[in-house]
Each structure stands twice: as C-alpha cells, then as structure tokens.
Amino acid sequence: MGEEKEKLSLLLVYWIEHNKEHAQDFKRWAEKAKGFDEIGTEVYEAIMEKG
C-alpha cells in the first residue's frame, strides 16, 4: 500500500504540471481561433472561462 501511495503522489505532481502545459497550448490555439469565425470566438471564450 505504501508503494502505491508514493507512486500516486508522484503521478499527481506530474499530471498537474502536464495539464498546465496543455492549458497553455489550449489558450494559444484559442487566441488564434478567435479570429477565424464565430466558432473560433466561442472556442476562445470557453477556454478563457476555464482559466
């Protein structure tokens, strides 16, 4: 049980950082998309709401 807890702890740190990187990518692409059309603007707004 101790090994699993330690592994989970390490995975959580990794997943948090990994997801932050994805969020940055999403924001960059949303910024590009907002100029394309109404859908691009909606994508941008949806992503920016999530922060």
Interval 6-49: pLDDT, tens: 999 999 999 999 999 888 888 888 778 777 788 877 877 777 77
Residues with Cβ within 8 Å of 42's Cβ and at least 6 positions away in sequence, in order, are: none
Tell me if 4 is assigned to some domain. no
Q: Are 44 and 31 in contact (CB under 8 A)?
A: yes
Tell me if 9 is assigned to some domain. no
Does the residue 16 lie in any domain? no
SS3 35: coil
Residue 11 belongs to a domain: no
* pLDDT value at 51 more than 70: no
Domain tally, the chain: 1
45 lies in a domain? yes
Residue 31's domain comprises: 21-51
